[in-house]
Structure 1
Amino acid sequence: MMIRDKRRTLALHSEAFVHQYLMFSIKILAERKSVTEEWVKAAKSTKQHVMVQVGGCPLPDVLELAKHAEQVGVDSILCLPELYFKPSTPHELINYLKIVGEAAPKTPLLYYHIPAWTGVNINMANFLNESVGKIPTFHGIKYTSNDLDGGAAALRANDGKYALLAAAFTLGFDSAIATTLNILPQYSVQILNAINDSNVEEARAIQNKLTAASSVITKNGAWVPTMKVAMNLITPINVGLARPPLQNLTTELSNEMQNSLKAEAVL
């Protein structure tokens, strides 16, 4: 889900979804820049909102990626916290994001709150309250956590001037960021269409199909390596294998996934 400032609403250009390009430190800078450039080119015809994640590497590299993202014309920038010298207070996180924002002063900046991966679990309500007026380009956060109490508190931050976007079309939202869109986009589109037609039962049935397929994909490994195998099996795009230190599936486990996806009528 994302939390954004209502005063600075981001334009979501696709019909239903924002393309969020998440890149982490396994890719070298030149590769990250190259892929960003290609997505910006592609979005000129697809009319998607391109949000590029620039964090996950040393600060000088983060700043270089932020500058590059603005130069090539991305719609917004998403940034992880410093991952080695981890911030432990809202003040430290604000200072870090202010530096990143100054590298791309014309591009909306969002903070990527995903404590299960980063180990940075600063109270987001306190951060949002303290950040007001301190980061000129700051537009909100991407909240990825099972701490719903923390999410609710963030929703009330800054006197309720933030809005919460959840991937729950039944609540009236028509935009989502979901990794499964890379693999099975038709299910999410069908869910949205069913909700728009007030057909909740059909939406639930399609959601069950998507959940079952996701369970098959992630059964025998971490999300990134298994997602790559699934994309190679289901889509016409060969994305190759994951890089070290991630561990790829064995041939046997890849074949098991293929057979299970056939059983779920995905292939």
Structure 2
Amino acid sequence: MKVETMKFVFRGLMAPVLTPYANDRSFSIQLDIIPKYAKYLSSVGINAVLVNGTSGEGMSMTVDERKATTEAWAAAVKETNQILMVQVGGACLKDVQEMAAHAERLGVDGLLCLPELFNKPATVDQLVEYLKYVGQAAPKTPLLYYHIPSYTGVKVSMPQFLATAACNIPTFAGAKYTDSNLEEGTRCLEVKSETLGLFLGCDHVLAGAFALGFDSAVATSLNMLPRANIKILEAMRNNHPSEALQEQRKLSQAINVITRNGGWVSTMKAAMSLMTSIHVGPPRPPLIPLSDEQIGVLKEDLAALELM
């Protein structure tokens, strides 16, 4: 039987924020940086943030650390009037439920949840059943699924999943679709529902996705290259596809320069500290920070592109 579902009303561009760590061997979270971080994003036109996602290294943090980070961002966005989504998955179910309930008590605007990462769901029904338990812990907050098969290895049919979840989970409101398979992404957009939102999570294919009907994205490069992302979305909204493609090429070139000498989170954190006033420190192990030599090369490459 179909249930009435909630709607996560925000549409547009959302920054998956990086978690600031101390630049020493303690890797302690620097919560005092978060208010400044929120104001910086607001000042460059970013009105929504995702906390404790992949870029935020949520799965490398303890439950207490994730809750403290969520609390800091919840306080910060009250001053900036930004939308706040919190990723609660990537832990045992009881911890996920605890973090979901905690986020709801703080009044966050939405929850995002990874699938179970060890006992991976193999079918749509298994994934829906898991998210039902998560949704029950936060019955007043829209819940979105975090689809990132390159990390999780969970590869169920997303159109079928969205349709099934919308009929069976009262709080279900959509997904973050982090996959370059835009053929499947387009079929996801065709799922008949007025409440579902679909956020693209692939920075390299924004222009193509917007051309196919996506209207929202969660892109790491929004942290240090916000204007390029904004221009792509604005160009497509104004029916200027050639301009959007030109901006996408610039953005992809910059991302390729940033990420050529390390992993995604490690290089993005280095770029954030070089290109903005927000210093987010190194990634937490087992992620490997850039060496001094690699940072030097990154500086030169960014300067050549006139990005710093």
Specify the alignment match of 2:95 in structure 1. Answer: 61
Give runs of aligned pairs for residues 1-267 of structure 1, distance below 5 A: 8-12=6-10, 18-21=48-51, 22=53, 23=56, 24-158=58-192, 167-168=206-207, 175-195=216-236, 200-267=241-308
Distance in 2, Cα, partners of 1:89 & 1:199: 40
Distance in 1, Cα, partners of 2:91 & 2:155: 18
Report the Cα offset of residue 48 of structure 1.
1.9
Contact 2:6 2:171 in 1 (8 A): no
Contact 2:224 2:276 in 1 (8 A): yes
Report the Cα offset of residue 191 of structure 1.
3.7
Secondary structure of the structure 1 residue equivalent to 2:167 = coil
**If the length of structure 1 is used for normalisation, what is the TM-score?**
0.87
Task: Output the aligned Cα RMSD.
Answer: 2.7
Distance in 2, Cα, partners of 1:64 & 1:163: 25
**If the length of structure 2 is used for normalisation, what is the TM-score?**
0.76
Contact 1:225 1:246 in 2 (8 A): yes
Classify 1:149/1:161 alpha carbon distance in 2 versus 1 (closer, same or farther; 3 Å): farther
* Runs of 5+ consecutive residues of structure 1 not aligned to the other structure: 1-5
Distance in 1, Cα, partners of 2:192 & 2:241: 34
Classify 1:64/1:233 alpha carbon distance in 2 versus 1 (closer, same or farther; 3 Å): same
Secondary structure of the structure 2 residue equivalent to 1:20 = strand
Contact 1:17 1:174 in 2 (8 A): no
Larger RCO (alpha carbons 8 Å, 6+ apart)? 2
Secondary structure of the structure 2 residue equivalent to 1:157 = coil
Question: After superposition, what is the alpha-carbon deviation per residue over 1:3-52, rounded to whole angstroms, capped at 9, x for unaligned?
Answer: xxx97542228876532221532111122111111222222232222111
Report the Cα offset of residue 55 of structure 1.
0.5
